[in-house]
């Protein structure tokens, strides 16, 4: 139950850097936006959605760029742990959308892919079904500038659409899909923006966890 709004997640990060509240708030907002807010397990939400950073200043000032990078690294590590620990999950799923019109389009398309039950079950079954990825892109009906003939879909570094792999490419594709971390990369050809989101596969374990108890 994570996505939207970091549901059921409480995150507290502490630093001894000396930093003013305004700068810390900006850095934290960017870090959370690129990590926790790019995480989705099953699109459902709940009552708890908090991410807090606290700084005591004991170590003195540090370069803002360094602190911002450190905050993002911590948040990303926690985000990947959460994705791997999704209910019934056996695989981490990362979806990157590049060549988008803007960040919003990249984020929307990436979320449509990572949230698709058909994509998630294909990942669980190690099936390089590029058609399910294309279907998820097509569900973004408002993104009318996406030309299907210009879209490129890759699993890992192996292109699956429009050029279909053969021979050694099929073996490489099988290895990508059998790994415990599956990466899907999509090129939209509508601009220069990109976004990466994080999730997991959908398994029978998810059904059992959420069906075999009474509240």
pLDDT at 1 over 80: no
pLDDT tens by residue, 99-114? 999 999 999 999 999 9
Is residue 215 a part of any domain in this protein? no
Residue 186's pLDDT is 98
Q: How far is CA 118 from the centre of its chain?
A: 16
Helix (H) or strand (E) holding 70: helix 64-84
Q: Based on the domain organization, do 30 and 68 belong to the same domain? A: yes
Q: Based on the domain organization, do 173 and 131 belong to the same domain? A: yes
Note if 215 is an active site residue. Answer: no
Q: Based on the domain organization, do 109 and 72 belong to the same domain? A: no
Domain that includes residue 97, residue range? 92-209
What CA–CA distance (Å, rounded) separates 80 from 12?
16
pLDDT at 215 over 90: no
pLDDT at 41 over 90: yes
pLDDT at 4 over 80: no
Lowest mean pLDDT among 39-48, 50-59, 76-85: 39-48
Q: Which residues contact 213 (CB under 8 A, 6 or more apart)?
A: none
Lowest mean pLDDT among 5-9, 37-41, 146-150, 210-214: 5-9
Q: Based on the domain organization, do 62 and 146 belong to the same domain? A: no
Of 8, 43, 90, 121, the active-site residue reads: 8
Q: Based on the domain organization, do 16 and 57 belong to the same domain? A: yes
Query: What is the value of pTM for the model shown?
Result: 0.94
Residue 160's pLDDT is 95
Sheet containing 152-155, strands listed edge to edge, beginning at the edge strand earlier in sequence: 158-161, 152-155, 181-187, 92-100, 193-200
Q: How many domains does the chain have?
A: 2
Residue 214's pLDDT is 86
pLDDT at 167 over 90: no
Residue 49's pLDDT is 86
Mean residue pLDDT across the chain: 95
Residue 179's pLDDT is 97
For the segment 58-76, the average pLDDT, to the nearest whole number, is 97
């Amino acid at each position: 139950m994570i996505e939207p709004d970091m549901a059921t997640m409480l995150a507290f990060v502490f630093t001894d850097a000396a930093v003013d509240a305004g700068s810390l708030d900006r850095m934290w907002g960017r870090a959370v936006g690129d990590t926790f807010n790019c995480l989705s397990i099953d699109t459902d939400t709940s009552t708890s959605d908090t991410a807090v950073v606290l700084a005591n200043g004991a170590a003195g000032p540090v370069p803002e760029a360094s602190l911002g990078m450190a905050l993002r690294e911590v948040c990303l590590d926690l985000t990947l742990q959460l994705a791997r620990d999704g209910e019934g999950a056996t695989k981490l799923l990362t979806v990157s959308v590049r060549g988008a019109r803007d960040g919003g389009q990249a984020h929307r398309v990436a979320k449509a892919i990572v949230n698709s039950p058909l994509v998630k079950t294909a990942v669980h079954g190690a099936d390089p079904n590029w058609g399910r990825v294309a279907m998820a892109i097509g569900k973004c009906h408002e993104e009318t500038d996406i030309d299907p003939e210009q879209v490129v879909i890759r699993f890992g570094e192996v292109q699956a659409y429009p050029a279909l792999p053969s021979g050694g490419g099929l073996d490489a594709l099988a290895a990508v899909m059998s790994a415990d971390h599956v990466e899907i990369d999509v090129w939209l050809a509508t601009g220069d923006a990109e976004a990466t989101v994080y999730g997991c596969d959908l398994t029978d374990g998810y059904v059992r966890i959420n069906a075999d108890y009474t509240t």
